[in-house]
Amino acid sequence: MFENKVVLITGSGQGIGRAIALCFGQKKATVALNDLPSQKEKLEEIKKEIEKNGGKAEIFFANVAKLEEVEKMIQEVQKTFGKLDILVNNAGICRDKTLAKMTTEEWQSVIDVSLTGVFNCSKAALPLIIQNRGKIINISSIVGARGNFGQTNYAAAKAGILGFTKSLAKEVGRFGVTVNAVLPGFIETPLTENLPENVKAMAKNLTPLGRFGKPEEVAFLVVFLASPEADFITGAEINIDGGLMI
Ligand code: NAD
């Protein structure tokens, strides 16, 4: 289904981004893996796994918070693969504190990576995506819709992504480009691994399905939104949270 499609996934060295990259690889897409240089070994493993299954992948380092690095990355993707069809804005970070204790640095770094990163990558990739009537999928969070104790910075970034998604969907619909947001609940990744056990238990209690989601479950949704079957879906916010938002 994704033969001849090139997909770029930001922050794909681990967790949800890794699962998305592997899932696109299984569907025979050409995969552009992005992360910070600190994730080099993990990215090389993912590239190897995709290639082992007969797929194609390359690694492109860039800090999504830095527009110059992102512009260079998009140029390199274009040079390497000749085009770009699908962008998955997945890179995101948390720096949790109550507002009373949060420093300006903790606020700004989360906004820079998790929100401005989406702006930078979408802006740099958009001309290529428009050429191919492509798709942008943004990984937000249920925290962007409902807020969370100790996450004013993260909630603001993730809510910002929702407004960004709907506005860009309106701007680029005339080119046949779709832009959608995915809102995961609690998913088993390195990001949630270190939560205190009582917080994990509380999260499971609040989730009607009584468990954390798997990164692969988020990946299937993202791959669906990138497929031709989803051509009429745009500006949507899709929860994948075991019912936590009900
Ligand atoms: P993770 O921390 O396991 O992985 C995030 C990846 O992004 C890492 O490989 C990291 O190196 C990379 N990254 C961080 N800063 C970057 C930067 N400036 N430039 C490029 N790459 C960078 O996180 P995850 O749990 O896999 O989350 C992935 C996305 O899903 C994030 O946007 C997160 O906010 C969102 N999300 C996660 C959950 C969850 O429960 N895990 C829930 C809702 C939303």
Q: What is the DSSP string of 59-89?
A: EEE--TT-HHHHHHHHHHHHHHHS---EEEE
Ligand 1 contact, 236 CB (< 6 A): no
Question: Structure pTM?
Answer: 0.98
CA of 15 to the centre of ligand 1 (A): 7
The mean pLDDT value for 42-53 works out to: 97
d(CA 168, CA 130): 12
Q: Which of 9, 12, 16, 60 to mutate to test the pocket of ligand 1 (most atoms within 8 A of CB)?
A: 16
pLDDT band at 1, cuts 50/70/90? confident
Per-residue pLDDT reduced to its tens digit, 61-80: 999 999 999 999 999 999 99
Tally the C-alpha atoms within 13 A of residue 123's C-alpha that lie toward its C-beta: 16
* Averaged confidence pLDDT in the chain: 97
Counting residues of the chain whose pLDDT is more than 70, the rounded percentage is: 100
Where do we find the tokens 């990739």?
125
Per-residue pLDDT reduced to its tens digit, 186-234: 999 999 998 899 999 999 999 999 999 999 999 999 999 999 999 999 9
Q: Please state, in angstroms and as integers, the Cα–Cα distance from residue 210 to each residue in 2, 118, 119, 200, 203, following that order.
A: 34, 31, 35, 11, 8
In 10 A of CB 104, how many CB atoms?
7
> Measured between alpha carbons, how far apart are the two ends of the chain, in Å?
33
Q: Which of 20, 22, 35, 207 to mutate to test the pocket of ligand 1 (most atoms within 8 A of CB)?
A: 35
Burial zone of 179 (CB within 10 Å; 0-12 exposed, 13-18 middle, 19+ buried): buried
CA of 139 to the centre of ligand 1 (A): 9
CA of 174 to the centre of ligand 1 (A): 31
Ligand 1 contact, 13 CB (< 6 A): yes
The mean pLDDT value for 92-115 works out to: 98
Displacement of CA 27 from its chain's centroid (Å)? 18
- For residue 207, the one-letter residue type is T
Q: What is the pLDDT of residue 200?
A: 94
Per-residue pLDDT reduced to its tens digit, 123-175: 999 999 999 999 999 999 999 999 999 999 999 999 999 999 999 999 999 99
Tally the C-alpha atoms within 13 A of residue 242's C-alpha that lie toward its C-beta: 18
Displacement of CA 233 from its chain's centroid (Å)? 18
Give me the active site residues, please.
Answer: 154
